[in-house]
């Protein structure tokens, strides 16, 4: 695999394990037990990797605010690959996320040369209607990049923190790359950070579900988040092996540091641009600290967290209080102290017109292969199924798809099929079968040769026809409901 991922090529990534080593993406299965009723893409290992998804899982469990954000370049037909991203946006929205969807018309303008009008038509007709038909709720925000002032302003500010050499290292840009293309990259970073702006409730964990080819945008944005922040909170160790929290505010106004010092109840050292919170974490400190959070909702959220820890600690009084429980309580007290500090830091930064972005989290899903095997390509109609394909035509495409079966029935009965090399099984795995048991049964029957490709394809084709018919009816309903949605168009 090339050591650069390119968001604008249609390269197929075959060796996902390399992504863990080369780009520091963590395996998703390790975090699966922490997710309340995980999505089928998670259960079925279709989502294979993540960055920092722990904070999203925790927000889902505790009811803390978090967001899901994603973007679609309005470049062509909306297909099953886009549905995968839309499904994940809708799922996170159902789990309590505030949802943001950007239609990347700046990107389509700069990379594909599309007019603004064409971007708008494709954006609505293809992507927005399908997104709503798949269950996106009106509380979410949908916007065209060209119409969203806050994204454009933020993109400009982000542009001041990155230079051509850095963009080249991440994206492989050359002297031929247009300024608009570079600006569209800064706009993508602004898209991802937008949910954390003050007008949307300030800093919070944000997840961006993507295919691995989009990781360059995440790496750029995570770096920029740190560079934009007025303060940086760090955990450090004393010479004796104890821990303390440190806030650095390189370039922050001295008044902002003074304000921060006022709001940290405990022993504090203030240097020119640097505050050390030396206090050993304890309940009394925590209770005084939590009152320094101005936002009532957030204050209450942390108050509940502290009460939960106290209830746990009280329920296991000595002598039953085990070493593990002591450790558990200490760890949670310490973690909560850090989070409260981050919260207060974010509020002070906002008061002094600064940023406090949390680096965005991300999930990475496998790509579907083409229906004929090989790569799925938008320019080869038989390799993919568009969500707007005529349902009967969609069913025919399934029937023409490459399977993992043998040439003759006899052979298949004797040797069995190969579901992992079968496009039809992949369709069922990703989209057509909800029930895990049913899917496992199909897989088993295929492998041991009791299932034949003809009837299997027939079932998948019927399900696909049914799905497309239903989806397209919902798209027409969505068209009538468009006015109920918050959509920001280009003026």
**Which is closer to ligand SF4, CB of 292 or CB of 403?**
403
Nearer to ligand SF4, 212 or 417 (CB): 417
Query: Least distance from C-beta 376 to ligand SF4, angstroms?
Result: 17
Cβ 407 to ligand SF4, closest distance in Å?
12
Closer of 420 and 473 to ligand SF4 (Cβ):
420
Total Cβ atoms within 10 A of residue 226: 11
Binding residues for ligand SF4 restricted to 8-27, rule: CB under 6 A: none
Nearest approach in angstroms of CB 14 to ligand SF4 is: 20
- Of the candidates 405, 430, 461, 464, which one interacts with ligand SF4 according to CB under 6 A? 405
Which one of residues 403, 433, 461, 471 is an interface residue with ligand SF4 (CB under 6 A)?
403
Confirm or reject binding of residue 419 to ligand SF4 (CB under 6 A).
yes
Closest CB to ligand SF4 among 360 and 419?
419
CB of 83 to ligand SF4, least distance (A): 21
Work out whether strand 274-277 and strand 243-248 pair parallel, antiparallel, or are unpaired: antiparallel
Q: Is 64 in the site for ligand SF4 (CB under 6 A)?
A: no
Among 222, 365, 451, 475, binds ligand SF4 (CB under 6 A): 451
Nearest to 373 by CA among 401, 337, 335: 401
Stretch that binds ligand SF4, among 16-24, 219-227, 325-333, 415-423 (CB under 6 A): 415-423
Residue 34 CB, shortest distance to ligand SF4, in Å, is 32
Could you please report the per-residue DSSP string of 214-226?
GHHHHHHHHHHHH
461 binds ligand SF4 per the rule CB under 6 A: no
Torsional class of 416: left (φ above 0), alpha (ψ -120 to 50), beta (otherwise): left
Cα 476 from chain centroid (whole Å):
28
Q: What angle do CA 462, 381, 422 make, to 5 degrees?
A: 55
Nearer to ligand SF4, 112 or 418 (CB): 418
Residues whose CB falls within 8 Å of the CB of residue 324, separated by 6 or more in sequence, listed in order: none
- CB closer to ligand SF4, 171 vs 425: 425
- CA 9 to mean position of chain CA atoms: 21
Nearer to ligand SF4, 281 or 404 (CB): 404
Query: Which span sits near ligand SF4 by CB under 6 A: 249-257, 334-342, 356-364, 402-410?
Result: 402-410
Q: Tell me whether the omega of the peptide bond preceding residue 319 falls within 30 degrees of 0, making it cis.
A: yes
List, as one string, the DSSP characters of 230-273. S-EEEEEE-TTS-EEEEEE-TT--HHHHHHHHHTS-S-EEE-SS
Q: 3-state class of 167 per DSSP?
A: helix
> CA dist 487 to 102, 139, 141, 142, 188, Å?
10, 11, 6, 5, 18
Return the exposure string of 296-322: e unless at least 16 CB atoms fall within 10 Å of the residue's CB, then b. Answer: eebbebbeebbeebeeebeeeeeeeee
Cβ atoms < 10 Å from Cβ of 250: 11
Options 424, 427, 439, 468; binder of ligand SF4; rule CB under 6 A = 424
Residue 453 touches ligand SF4, criterion: CB under 6 A? yes
Within 142-161, which residues bind ligand SF4 (CB under 6 A)? none
Q: Write each residue from 430 to 449 as x if it is in contact with ligand SF4 (CB under 6 A), else as -, in one continuous string.
A: ----------------x---
Binding site for ligand SF4 (CB under 6 A): 403-405, 417, 419, 422, 424-425, 446, 451, 453, 456-457
């Amino acid at each position: 695999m090339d050591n650069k991922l390119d968001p604008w090529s249609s390269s197929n990534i075959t060796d996902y394990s390399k992504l863990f080593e080369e780009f520091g993406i963590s395996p998703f299965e390790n975090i699966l037990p922490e997710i309340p009723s995980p999505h089928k893409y998670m259960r079925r290992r279709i989502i294979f990797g993540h960055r920092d998804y722990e904070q999203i899982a925790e927000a889902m469990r505790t009811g803390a605010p978090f967001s899901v954000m994603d973007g679609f370049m309005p470049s062509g037909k909306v297909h099953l690959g886009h549905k995968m991203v839309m499904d994940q946006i809708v799922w996170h929205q159902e789990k309590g996320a505030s949802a943001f969807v950007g239609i990347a018309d700046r990107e389509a303008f700069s990379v594909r040369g599309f007019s603004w009008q064409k971007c708008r038509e494709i954006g609505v007709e293809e992507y927005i209607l399908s997104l709503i038909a798949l269950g996106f709720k009106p509380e979410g925000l949908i916007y065209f990049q060209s119409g969203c002032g806050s994204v454009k302003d933020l993109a400009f500010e982000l542009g001041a923190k990155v230079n051509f050499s850095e963009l080249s290292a991440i994206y492989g840009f050359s002297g031929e790359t247009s300024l608009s293309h570079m600006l569209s990259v800064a706009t993508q970073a602004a898209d991802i950070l937008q949910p954390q702006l003050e007008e949307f409730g300030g800093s919070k964990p944000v997840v961006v579900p993507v295919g691995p080819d989009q990781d360059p945008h995440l790496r750029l944005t995570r770096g920029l988040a740190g560079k934009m922040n007025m303060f940086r909170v760090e955990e450090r160790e004393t010479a004796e092996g104890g821990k303390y929290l440190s806030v650095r505010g390189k370039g922050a106004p001295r008044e902002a540091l003074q304000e921060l010092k006022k709001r940290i109840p405990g022993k504090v050292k203030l240097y020119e641009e640097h505050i050390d919170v030396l206090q050993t974490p304890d309940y009394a400190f925590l209770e005084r600290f939590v009152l320094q959070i101005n936002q009532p909702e957030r204050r209450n959220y942390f108050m509940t967290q502290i009460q939960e820890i106290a209830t746990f600690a009280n329920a296991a009084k000595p002598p039953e209080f085990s070493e593990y429980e002591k450790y558990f309580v200490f760890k949670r007290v310490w973690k909560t102290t850090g989070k409260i500090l981050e919260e207060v830091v974010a509020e002070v930064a906002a008061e002094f017109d600064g940023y406090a972005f949390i680096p965005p989290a991300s999930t990475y899903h496998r790509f579907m292969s083409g229906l004929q095997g090989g790569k799925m390509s938008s320019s080869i109609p038989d390799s993919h199924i568009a969500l707007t394909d005529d349902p009967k035509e969609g069913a025919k495409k399934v029937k023409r798809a490459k399977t993992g079966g043998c040439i003759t029935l006899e052979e298949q009965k004797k040797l069995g099929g190969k579901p992992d090399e079968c496009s039809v099984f992949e369709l069922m795995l990703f989209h057509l079968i909800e029930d895990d048991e049913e899917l496992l049964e199909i897989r088993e029957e295929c492998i041991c040769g009791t299932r034949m490709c003809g009837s299997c394809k027939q079932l998948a084709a019927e399900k696909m026809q049914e799905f497309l018919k239903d989806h397209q009816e919902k798209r027409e309903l969505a068209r009538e409901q468009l006015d109920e949605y918050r959509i920001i168009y280009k003026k």
